[in-house]
Chain A
Amino acid sequence: MANQMTIGTPTRKKKGGDALSQKKWAMGFVIAAAIVYVLYGFVLSRLPFGLQDFFRTWLPATSLNEALVWVICALGLNIVVGYAGLLDLGYVAFWAIGGYSAGWFMSAFFQQVNIHLGGTTVVQSRGIHISFWGVLILAAIICAFFGIVIGAPTLRLKSDYLALVTLGFGEIIPQVFVNGENIGGFNLSNGTKGITPLDNINLLGKQLGPFDLSQKYIIFVFLTSIMVFISLRLRGGRLGRAWLAIREDELAASMMGVPLMRTKLSAYAVGAMAGGIGGVAFATHVNGVFADRFNFSISIILLAMVVLGGMGNVWGVMVGALVIAWVNSTGLPAGGNAFNNVFGTNINFPSYNFLIFGLVLVLMMLFKREGLLPESRLKMVLHEHDDDETMKAGA
């Protein structure tokens, strides 16, 4: 049997290959982040005025910071949707809870009490003033708790039903904050007026206010890196394998001994933690929390970031989040202005953003369903729709 010559363990398509490519991406991220920091912190002010103006129009520092907040949240949603395959349409709930954690614990909002814990304000000022870093941890814990509370009854549902119920929670929680001005005489959220201003961030003895953009940029990059690290570690570990198995075939996963509820809940909780951290970051970015900002479109935009980037691929999701956040905050207004100036038109481009997103998503579904950077390119398992049909049929 000549055939026997070929039998033998094929050499493993090296795991080292994955690790190498992951390292390249990580290096790229760090280098890009550093270049941007140097550019905005030191170089930009010495450039000729025209060039400065170009950067201010097309890539302002504030939209960079905001984009990083989106990345943090999108990475969290990626764990729920991309890894575990649980379609969550209410992720904004965790962003909101994280935001309010910042509002509650690092401002003068709760005048009833006077609690200080590493905060940056003077001890005399009332309210709860916990250090930014403490609030990050606190918000992550609170969100994980709510993730489990919401997840425990809903995660028994499958696919579309789960999506609908999460959609409901994504509406309920922001509504609670909108109407939370007077809950039996207790002011939970200050209603639509929101909670503002927030305490400064303390970083190595320095105090960072709302306008210390380049220092906050460093903090946001740091938080993003932590999310990337957590995502990659979880993906490679036992829990990550369990998530992928559930995503592939829940029943079969259970037959392998994967505890379904616990595994799904942990995906939900980890995703919620990221939402909480993103919420705190966003609150410090805009120096307050405002109930009416937490609307359904945030959940949808985050989902679009995950899908556009490539579900399950951390770096793809990061690219997707950066692109969509930039288009939303800067690309459409600035590009629209430029278009109007050139052609003498008067089109309000930002108001068409959902039309454009919709179109982009439809085109993606038609031509590149696995996202800009599909996970399979990293020689990992997941998601390639093209050969899906033949696979299901199984020959």
Chain B
Amino acid sequence: MSALLEVSNLKVAYGKILAVKGISLTVAKGEIVTLIGSNGAGKSTTLRTISGLLHPKAGEITFKGEKISGREGHEIVAKGICQSPEGRRIFPRMTVAENLDLGAFLRNDKAAIAEDQENVLVLFPRLRERLYQRAGTLSGGEQQMLAVGRAMMGRPELLLLDEPSMGLAPVLVELIFDTISKIREMGTTILLVEQNALAALDVADRAYVLESGLITMSGDAKELLRNDEVAKAYLGG
């Protein structure tokens, strides 16, 4: 299996505090891989390091066989990794259309950008209704759709999703996870970070369980779903 993304022995620190203590993981082309764990386990830190917002203290990240750790954020976007960040971070005073437009910031192929915008709007019809409305006036769920759609506009090979279900009503969580499957069917590989382990394991092919900066379990998502320890710790049963 040739890995699209390979993280090996990654350590990330905030000052002197080690948040990620040496983890390794791989994501193969076409997969949905999820990283689950509780608050402060280091999930978002891992994701932010992959997308170049944080720099590792040790270890290496390779994407398509090329070392990307230590590069700046915008260089990594150019390589084909886009992130929908935790807390959505849409541009609140810009319109939905302008937000989507910024997602395609590094691209020049106008026709293809228009095509991708259409794809995003098919995926999220609600965004079409709100296209020229300021993004800050959207509801939480719509903002999450926009954040995912905006990341899609970069035409990523690997899409990083950080807590897409955070703070959403159950019906919207379902919709977001349905969309994640659809995005994979469109040919995008996904690395998903989630606290909602049940939903994440349900949609994913493989999963890693992160606990205080270390991977404690990994494997087939459906098997983890049936694992007693996982159930006890993350699935409320």
Which A residues form the contact surface with B (CB < 8 A)?
6-10, 12-13, 238, 241-242, 244-245, 248-249, 251-260, 381-384, 387, 390-392, 394-395
Number of chain B residues close to chain A: CB under 8 A: 42
Cβ contact of A7, chosen from B92, B101, B128, B137, cutoff 8 A? B128
Question: CA A13 – CA B95 in complex, angstroms?
Answer: 11
A residues within 8 A CB of B97? 12
Question: CA A245 – CA B138 in complex, angstroms?
Answer: 18
Question: CA A241 – CA B121 in complex, angstroms?
Answer: 22
If A252-B85, A255-B53 touch, does A391 touch B129 (CB 8 Å cutoff)?
A: no
Nearest Cβ on chain B to A384's Cβ, whole angstroms: 7
Whether A10 pairs with B150 at a CB distance below 8 angstroms is no
A residues within 8 A CB of B129? 6-7, 10
Whether B154 pairs with A381 at a CB distance below 8 angstroms is no
Whether A248 pairs with B93 at a CB distance below 8 angstroms is yes
Cβ contact of B131, chosen from A10, A242, A258, cutoff 8 A? A10
Task: Decide if B14 is an interface residue (CB 8 Å cutoff).
Answer: no
Task: Decide if B136 is an interface residue (CB 8 Å cutoff).
Answer: yes
Whether A256 pairs with B139 at a CB distance below 8 angstroms is no
Which one, B19-27, B74-82, B204-212, is touching chain A?
B74-82
Task: Decide if B143 is an interface residue (CB 8 Å cutoff).
Answer: yes
Question: CA A9 – CA B83 in complex, angstroms?
Answer: 26
If A6-B129, A244-B94, A381-B93 touch, does A255 touch B77 (CB 8 Å cutoff)?
A: yes
B151's closest neighbor in chain A, by CB? A255
The 10 A-B pairs with the shortest beta carbon distances in the complex, nearest first, are A391-B136, A257-B77, A254-B73, A257-B106, A252-B89, A248-B91, A391-B92, A259-B74, A381-B94, A256-B105
Taking CB atoms and an 8 Å cut-off, the chain B residues in 146-161 that contact chain A are 150-151, 154
Cβ contact of A254, chosen from B74, B90, B125, cutoff 8 A? B74
Question: CA A7 – CA B128 in complex, angstroms?
Answer: 7
Nearest Cβ on chain A to B152's Cβ, whole angstroms: 12
Given contacts A254-B53, A387-B137, A391-B136, list 7 more A-B pairs with CB under 8 A. Answer: A9-B131, A10-B131, A13-B132, A248-B92, A248-B93, A255-B83, A255-B151
Cβ contact of A252, chosen from B91, B137, B154, cutoff 8 A? B91
B residues within 8 A CB of A256? 77, 102-103, 105-106, 150, 154
Whether A248 pairs with B94 at a CB distance below 8 angstroms is yes
If A9-B128, A242-B105 touch, does A395 touch B140 (CB 8 Å cutoff)?
A: yes
Cβ contact of A391, chosen from B102, B128, B134, cutoff 8 A? B134
Cβ contact of A394, chosen from B78, B95, B106, B140, cutoff 8 A? B140
B residues within 8 A CB of A13? 132
Nearest Cβ on chain A to B94's Cβ, whole angstroms: 4
If A249-B91, A252-B89, A382-B93 touch, does A241 touch B102 (CB 8 Å cutoff)?
A: yes
